[in-house]
Structure 1
Amino acid sequence: MAELFSPAWMERFAAEWNREPDLAQALGQIDFASNIAYGFVEEEAPRGFLQVLKGQVASAGAYQGQALNWDIRASVDQWMKWISSPPGMTGLGMAFTTGKIKFKVGDYKSMLKDPRMATPFVKSFSVMARV
C-alpha cells in the first residue's frame, strides 16, 4: 500500500471515488465542486489533495498550496482505524464531537444538515478502505 495521502495513494483514491456511484454520481447530481485536502492534525499543512468537479475527481495528488473548500484532518492512527473499519454517520458525528476529526477549512455542521452531501461524505471513508 502506498503511504497514506501520498500522490500515488491520492490517485488511487480518486480512481475509486470516480467508480463509486454513491459518491461520484450522487455528488454529480448536486453539481458538487470542491477542493478537498486530507492530512494529519499534528502537521501544519495537509498532504493529499482532490479537485472535484460535478462529483468527479478531476485531479489528485499532493497538496501544493491550492485554495481549499475542505481541509480534513485526523491522527494517523485514527485514519488507519477508519480505513480498516469505515465509520458510519454516528461514528463520524462522535469523532467530530470528540475532536478525532477536524475541519481546518469547511463547515462540517452545514454539510451534515444536507443529506445530499452527508451521505457521500460517509461513503468516502469506505472508498478509502478500497485503496
Structure 2
Amino acid sequence: MNTYLKPKDQTARLSGAVVGAYLLVAFSDGDFTKSEEVRLRLGQFDSTNLPGLRRDVFEAIYPDALTMFRQDYDKAAEYTLSMLAGFAGEGLVRRAVAEAVRAAVMADQQIKPQESLAINRIEEALGAPAGQI
C-alpha cells in the first residue's frame, strides 16, 4: 500500500504534508540533487525539530512520496497541494512546511525561479500570505 497516498492517521498526514512540500520544492527545478536527498534523510524532520513528526512515519512515507515525484511531478505536486489545503490555517503545519521548504532551498544553496513558484503554490494551498513561507 502506498503510505503517501493513503496516510493511516493524523501523524502520517502531517508527515506526508511535510515530506511532500519538501519534495515539491526540491523537484521543482527538474533536478533532485544528492544534497537535497541527504538533507531530507539526515533527520531534518523528526520530533526534536517539529512536534508531531516521527522518524518511523517519515521512513514509511518517504519512499512512496519519492517514487511518486520521480514518476510524475505534476500529479505528485497536485496531490501534495491538495493535502496541504486540508491543513489550511493550522499553525503547526504551516511551521513544519516552512521548515521543510527552507531545508529544500538550503540544500542546493540557492533559490531558483521554479522553487519560488513552488513555494507560492504551497503558500496558496495553506492559505498563507505571500512571502510567509
TM-score normalised according to structure 1 size: 0.32
Higher RCO (Cα < 8 Å, 6 or more apart): 2
Output the TM-score relative to the length of structure 2: 0.31
Which is strand-richer, 1 or 2?
1
Structure with higher helix content: 2
